[in-house]
Structure 1
Amino acid sequence: MTAAVFDHEGPWTDEEYLALGETQQRVELFDGSLHVTPAPTPRHQNISGELRAVLRQPAREARLRVLGAVNVRLRPGRIPIPDLVITGEIDFDQVNIEAHDVRLVCEIISPSNAATDKVLKMHYYATAGIEWYLLVEQENATLHLYRRQGRHYVEQSVAKVGETLELTDPVRATIRPEELLP
């Protein structure tokens, strides 16, 4: 992958990006530019796994799926890899999930990429029409749930350790932040 990245000239297309194949790093495409981050920390992975476990059965009951670290095509030239998504019916053999199939997107904020999750991705997900955005603060497991209003998100609720976050849409679930921490 290294030679392909450094020898590339000009903006990346979706096809060129996807031709890179699977990597150990998280490589996302934002408006023709690659955004590369290291693999998530064990703490990050633990939070993601616990959250996915909490959401799995409620998603099944709603005839939805909860998936981790998949390509979500928001529009041409814009393919992030969120930590978790809840989707409707999708083709499991396609390399991308289209934004219109995503009901909720979740990012677990890492200190190294907080601005990307809180500003850039939040804007991109809202403009792509994804209804719900769940942000998890990794260090203290505070949950921030946002709902889309037009082309922006508005915070609906916050839950800290000792509190609960009640999801009613797109799935019905109760999330206790302390249960996500290692």
Structure 2
Amino acid sequence: MTAAVFDHDGPWLEEEYLALGETQQRVELFDGSLHVTPAPTPRHQRIARRLGSALEPGAQAAGLELLDAVNVRLRQDRIPIPDLVVTDPIDLKYPFVDGWDVRLVCEIVSPGNAATDRVLKMHYYAAAGIEWYLLVEQDTLVVQLHRRRPDGHYVEVAAAAPGEVLELTEPVRATIRPETLLD
């Protein structure tokens, strides 16, 4: 992949991005530019796994899919890789999930990449029409649930810190106790 990335001229097209195939790094496509980050830390991955475990029963009960670290096509040439997504039933053969199939997107804020999760991706997910955005602050374990307003922006509708409980009723039923994401 390295040679293909460094020898590339001009903006990246979606087809070129998808032709890179699977990589060890997290490579996302934002409007013709590649955004490359190292593999997540063990702390990040534990939080993601436990958050997924909290969401999985509700997703299954609602007939939805829970997937981690998949390409989500928000529009042409805009493909982030969220930490977790809850989607409508999809065809698992495709190399990406279409944004209109995503019911809930989850990001775990990494200290070195915080602005991307809190600002850039939040804006892109809202612009794509994804109704629910769950954000986990890795350092404090504060979990924030955002809902998309009719004007196309997210507003926080619930939050929980360690010792508190976040109850989700949409798009899945789930109980999240932040302290259990890492203990």
TM range (shorter): over 0.9
Match of 1:38 in 2: 38
* 3-state SS of 1:95 partner: coil
RMSD: 0.6
CA distances 1:84-126 after superposition (whole Å, capped 9, x unpaired): 0000010101001000000000000000100000000000000
> In the alignment, does 2:162 pair up with 1:161?
yes
What is the letter of the counterpart of residue 153 of structure 2? H
Distance in 2 separating the partners of 1:124 and 1:55: 23
Distance in 1 separating the partners of 2:141 and 2:91: 32
Distance in 2 separating the partners of 1:67 and 1:172: 16
* 3-state SS of 2:139 partner: coil
Distance in 2 separating the partners of 1:6 and 1:172: 45
What is the letter of the counterpart of residue 154 of structure 1? V
Distance in 1 separating the partners of 2:102 and 2:43: 25
- Following TM superposition, where does structure 1 have runs of at least 4 consecutive aligned residues deviating by more than 6 angstroms? none
Match of 1:10 in 2: 10
> In the alignment, does 2:182 pair up with 1:181?
yes
Distance in 1 separating the partners of 2:56 and 2:167: 15
**Where do residues 1-182 of structure 1 align in structure 2 (5 Å cutoff)?**
1-149=1-149, 150-182=151-183
What TM-score comes out, normalization by structure 2 length?
0.98
Distance in 2 separating the partners of 1:168 and 1:41: 30
Paired positions, count: 182
What is the letter of the counterpart of residue 78 of structure 2? R
Distance in 2 separating the partners of 1:52 and 1:59: 10
Distance in 1 separating the partners of 2:139 and 2:181: 11
What TM-score comes out, normalization by structure 1 length?
0.99
* 3-state SS of 1:66 partner: strand
* Structure 1, 37-46 or 138-147: larger mean CA deviation: 138-147
* 3-state SS of 2:171 partner: coil
In the TM superposition, residue 70 of structure 1 has moved relative to its aligned partner by: 0.2
CA distances 1:46-96 after superposition (whole Å, capped 9, x unpaired): 000001111111110000011100000000010000000000010101001
What is the letter of the counterpart of residue 160 of structure 1? A
Distance in 1 separating the partners of 2:142 and 2:66: 20
Distance in 2 separating the partners of 1:8 and 1:169: 43
Unaligned 5+ segments in structure 1 are: none
Distance in 2 separating the partners of 1:153 and 1:91: 28
